[in-house]
A and B are shown apart, each in its own frame.
Chain A
């Protein structure tokens, strides 16, 4: 025991040392952006924030305030000022446009609705009412889409928003930026982790604002973005009107190293002749025009990453369900599992084999006993053995693993005993062939050709040899029943066997027969989670019938 205690102490030390070790290694952390404070304590452009959802009027005062602060605080060149002002007015114009459109759409929608109401009141023919209803839904959708667009645009305004306390960065995508460039507007834009020369030529990704780790040596040349985002390739992107309205903006989480000071910059795009700062940039095309340093900021780590809330809820809920059902299954192992059609096919096959007076062959797969699929095969073997004992036929079980062979012998013996025919059990029929994959296959195929079993069961995990086994079995004219979770082999089994237990069905059959609390509880727990997913899909379908745009469900399950 002295030795044991010492080892115990070592083990305990390991557990303690792991976190200590972790703390000892200085490495850049990967953290959600917390509160951003400025070096001089002033409210700079980075700390634009407000609480709650702002009213639309806030939108404009908010935007103006930012830029005024910016202009006040930094000695911007005239050009930079102009760029910023232009960009701002462009954005403001965009929003104003969309707002006008949306209000018009709202008016149209309301008109359509009252027309519909009137039609119903006037008891007009069904055809007319239906047409009015259709018109109303169309207007409703247009309005809804524009409403979304307003929200998205509004989010694009801010580098970060507080939605409650949840912090997110909104970024602009390629299409939007390109449109801006094409329309000749100068545009507040996009930082890029690549060297300056390539900024702006990058095809498929762009962020609104960038930060640069101030601690990096060549901070001037490296412009490090908050994050990079992937946008659908312009060549393949969905260019329908709804997509351009809604999918232009994408929320991405900000990942910064806490307690490290970052330079925060704003870069502007424009058609410039030549820029002394970036001589590599070619004249004429849309190029990076200016980079404005607007301050420094150091993020503070949060205690909990709120963007991962839906993840936590799902993991906790599902974990809890699984554990609960395992406990319940321990108390009551007779939980309901539906009939597994494959198991009935098993009984039928054995019956037919007996009629023909030929043996039955059973394989437990090629993996070791520790694998779930092998265990499932063993459980089903127990059932098969019981049935065979009833019918008085022979059961041949060639094995690849001596351990599996021993367990198979026990299971079959028990099956025969339970059926009241212990005398019919023959140990020699459950034998070890060879551990070698292809030699095992060749030998098993040999037995199939020689003994011509009437039924062949291929349960458990198989590799490439599945095809050889199933082909030979089909050639002998046997009834074949397979069950495997080897996804690549399943198609081969389906076309060569009379019945196939597909993937999870094998586990379910095993749980059904063995009533093992762990298997049963997990199966039921997973069923609950599946029911949850199916409910969401069903709900989405119902919502689709009633209104085409409904993102709530999707937002609920979208990882942030």
Chain B
């Protein structure tokens, strides 16, 4: 059997084993490749950073465990960034699978920064109905969420004495695994002129570029790479994040070595397999001609 046929008929299990090794190896023995940042993520960072301390940020964490590795690190970094800047954080989720993930993140990070629930941040929890919730928030936050995730009435919270609706928020960040970015643009950001950014799974990142290009989104962070970039930007500007919040600085950056390795493997295999495919095709044609 020659090389071309070998490549084209390579056993699946060998390929699977290669992928497993390429993922595990850099995680156990990191190469620590430097993570470069892209303008899309830098502009999210600078938008949040440029807001004066104490601004109100609406964070929508619309994802569930199936995209946890991609988006959970972003939520950690975003929360750390907001608390570092003393921003008031209003956080909610439109995905039923999300609340417990957000709860973990917000409780952990707020504890590290010594922030008070109800004064510095509020986790509003989950409500079904995507656009019905976002539309409601443009009228009244406390009307849409009479109670927060912990079932306490929101109307008495200090944080909602100043802010009535999304209109009063200074920024919206949607961390989305699905199509909720469009919902936030259509029902909150565009009609109420609140600037917004999106961090989405890599699957949908390319699809949101029309909004980025049109200025409807300040920035886009795509998948684990975007989260890693945000980590890097955050740690560059606020070095104490690294020491103070171990889970913040993190997992996304560590994953980038494995990501590079597997990408390289897949790219090389596509190129190699296609070359073999064309050689095999040519041979076949020649055989047919001689026959």
| A233 contacts B by Cβ under 8 Å | yes
Query: Once the chains bind, are A230 and B162 in contact (CB under 8 Å)?
Result: no
Which one of A193, A195, A204 lies within 8 Å of B47 (CB-CB)? A204
Shortest distance between the CB of A558 and any CB in chain B (Å)? 11
**Identity of the chain B residue whose Cβ is nearest the Cβ of A250 in the assembled complex:** B193
| A279 contacts B by Cβ under 8 Å | no
CB-defined contacts of B218 to chain A, threshold 8 Å: 230, 233
**Identity of the chain A residue whose Cβ is nearest the Cβ of B39 in the assembled complex:** A236
Count how many chain A residues have C-beta atoms less than 8 Å from C-beta atoms of the other chain.
26
CB-defined contacts of A230 to chain B, threshold 8 Å: 193-195, 218
Shortest distance between the CB of B112 and any CB in chain A (Å)? 25
Size bracket, chain B contacts = 20 to 34
CB-defined contacts of A255 to chain B, threshold 8 Å: 167
| A28 contacts B by Cβ under 8 Å | yes
Digitize A542-559: 1 where CB-to-B-CB distance is under 8 Å, 0 elsewhere: 000000000000000001
Given the contacts A198-B52, A222-B162, A235-B46, A193 and B139 also touching, CB distance less than 8 Å: no
CB-defined contacts of A30 to chain B, threshold 8 Å: 138-139, 167
Complex alpha-carbon distance, A487 and B204, angstroms: 9
Complex alpha-carbon distance, A201 and B54, angstroms: 12
Given the contacts A30-B139, A227-B193, A488-B203, A233 and B162 also touching, CB distance less than 8 Å: no
Complex alpha-carbon distance, A232 and B214, angstroms: 11
Complex alpha-carbon distance, A30 and B167, angstroms: 10
Digitize B177-206: 1 where CB-to-A-CB distance is under 8 Å, 0 elsewhere: 000000000000010011100000001100
Given the contacts A30-B139, A230-B195, A252-B193, A194 and B55 also touching, CB distance less than 8 Å: yes
In terms of DSSP, what is the predominant structure of the interface of chain A? loop
| B130 contacts A by Cβ under 8 Å | no
Complex alpha-carbon distance, A203 and B55, angstroms: 12
Digitize A4-28: 1 where CB-to-B-CB distance is under 8 Å, 0 elsewhere: 0000000000000000000000011
Shortest distance between the CB of A18 and any CB in chain B (Å)? 14
Complex alpha-carbon distance, A233 and B54, angstroms: 19
Query: Once the chains bind, are A232 and B215 in contact (CB under 8 Å)?
Result: yes
Given the contacts A27-B139, A27-B143, A194-B55, A203 and B50 also touching, CB distance less than 8 Å: yes
| A180 contacts B by Cβ under 8 Å | no
Which one of B143, B164, B170 lies within 8 Å of A228 (CB-CB)? B170
Digitize B71-84: 1 where CB-to-A-CB distance is under 8 Å, 0 elsewhere: 00000000000000
Query: Once the chains bind, are B162 and A198 in contact (CB under 8 Å)?
Result: no
CB-defined contacts of B47 to chain A, threshold 8 Å: 204, 233
CB-defined contacts of A227 to chain B, threshold 8 Å: 193
Digitize A199-215: 1 where CB-to-B-CB distance is under 8 Å, 0 elsewhere: 00111110000000000
| A64 contacts B by Cβ under 8 Å | no
Query: Once the chains bind, are B193 and A487 in contact (CB under 8 Å)?
Result: no
Residues 26 to 71 of chain A near chain B (Cβ within 8 Å): 27-28, 30
Complex alpha-carbon distance, A204 and B47, angstroms: 8
CB-defined contacts of A233 to chain B, threshold 8 Å: 43, 46-47, 50, 218
Q: Which 6 A-B pairs have the closest CB atoms?
A: A203-B50, A230-B195, A198-B52, A202-B52, A488-B203, A201-B52
Q: What are 5 pairs between A and B in contact, CB < 8 Å?
A: A28-B139, A30-B138, A194-B170, A198-B53, A203-B51
With contacts A27-B139, A198-B52, A203-B50 known, what are 8 further pairs, Cβ within 8 A? A28-B164, A30-B138, A193-B170, A194-B52, A198-B53, A202-B52, A203-B51, A233-B43
Q: Which residues of A contact B (CB under 8 A)?
A: 27-28, 30, 193-195, 198, 201-205, 222, 227-230, 232-233, 235-236, 252, 255, 487-488, 559
